[in-house]
Amino acid sequence: MSETMGKVCVSCGRLSSEYVSFKCPGCLKETIIRDRSCREKHTRYVCPNCHTEGP
Ligand SMILES: [Zn+2]
Ligand SMILES: [Zn+2]
């Protein structure tokens, strides 16, 4: 896999290679992707599956 691979942050929609992923606490099915800047700023996210919001 190349280093250009990344994931789209659910908060800002930007493609990022520095991200964290975790299961949605609401539905435990959707994987939430957040880039580093959104994580540090605690930007709000919304699960695309169950619409749970989180900090
Ligand atoms: Zn982001
Ligand atoms: Zn969810």
What is the DSSP code string of the chain?
--TT--EE-TTT--EESSEEEEE-TTTS-SEEEEEHHHHHHT--EE-TTT--EE-
Provide the pLDDT for residue 55.
86
pLDDT per residue over 2-48, tens digit each? 556 899 999 999 999 999 999 999 999 999 999 999 999 999 999 99
Provide the pLDDT for residue 5.
81
Output 30 or 55, whichever has higher pLDDT. 30
State the distance from the centre of ligand 1 to the C-alpha of 1, rounded, in angstroms.
22
State the distance from the centre of ligand 2 to the C-alpha of 55, rounded, in angstroms.
14
pLDDT at 50 over 90: yes
Provide the pLDDT for residue 4.
67
